[in-house]
Amino acid sequence: ELELDRNRRAFIHVARGSIAVNETRLNAGDGVKVSAGGQIVLQHGRDAEVIVFDVPAGPPPPKRKSTPRLKSK
């Protein structure tokens, strides 16, 4: 189990084997982004090697501006 602060994000990559991350099964080569703070549960690993990237959340992405649609003639 890992605890992730609310202002942090995690990227988890399975290098080898298989494992469940928060009840989602991942196999070698799979990855998942955990964007909400809280507990990350790693369980049911089978010869698993995982890489966990713990990074700052950063500012929210900018809102996209909508562009007006052109009327067709």
| Per-residue pLDDT reduced to its tens digit, 4-49 | 888 899 999 999 999 999 999 999 999 999 988 789 999 999 999 9
pLDDT of residue 53: 94
More confident: 73 or 43: 43
Indicate the pairing of strand 38-40 with strand 24-27. unpaired
Query: With a threshold of 0.75, does the pTM exceed it?
Result: no
pLDDT of residue 11: 94
Q: Residue 33: is it exposed, middle or buried by C-beta count within 10 angstroms (0-12/13-18/19+)? A: exposed
- Whether 34 and 4 have beta carbons less than 8 Å apart is answered as yes
> Nearest 5 degrees, angle CA 14-CA 18-CA 19?
85
Place of tokens 């992730």: 4
pLDDT of residue 45: 92
pLDDT of residue 43: 94
